[in-house]
Amino acid sequence: MALNVVRSFDEIMNEARESESSDEIDKAIKLYQRAIKLESHNELPYNRLMILYRKQKNYEEELDLINRGIKTFEEFYRKRSEKLISKNKSAAKLSDALAKSLGQRGKKVQDLYQPEPIPKWIKRKQLVEKKVRNK
């Protein structure tokens, strides 16, 4: 009977890198997926997984991963921003005024600035969507 050993994010990432370097791609993919479940706000396993899907020309899986990653990080940054703003209303007003004056916020209070890795993934998403359509 095998015991399920709880491993840390770093241990899983190290094993995934080793699997990837020894061309055990399927194993590496499973490990990166597990790493994402452990730390969904760490961009490294997303990036490695996107690269592996790209190498396999598995554009549908890559597109799904990109969409999940964008959604996860947008939600993470939105919640973090709300948490910080709710603690200090005057700082929120100043921050909003500064963002508007710098052109980082539109008139409809939609953020024009998006932190990394979101812009990079949006650009990649557009490329992958073209490849999926051309298949």
Q: Give 19-51 as a DSSP string.
A: HHHTT-HHHHHHHHHHHHHH-TT-HHHHHHHHH
Sort 116 into a burial class: Cβ within 10 Å, 0-12 / 13-18 / 19+.
exposed
Q: Which amino acid belongs to residue 44? A: L
Question: Is 50 exceeded by the pLDDT of residue 63?
Answer: yes
The pLDDT confidence band at residue 48, using thresholds 50, 70 and 90, is very high
Whole-model pTM? Answer: 0.80
* Domains of the chain listed by start with CATH number: 9-134 (1.25.40.10)
Mean pLDDT confidence for 62-75:
96
Going by C-alpha positions, the residue among 26, 88, 92 that lies closest to residue 61 is 26
For the chain, give the percent of residues with pLDDT over 70: 89
Cβ atoms of 83 and 39 closer than 8 Å:
no
**φ, ψ for residue 130 (rounded to 5)?**
-60, -40
H/E stretch holding 4 reads none
Question: Is 80 exceeded by the pLDDT of residue 102?
Answer: no
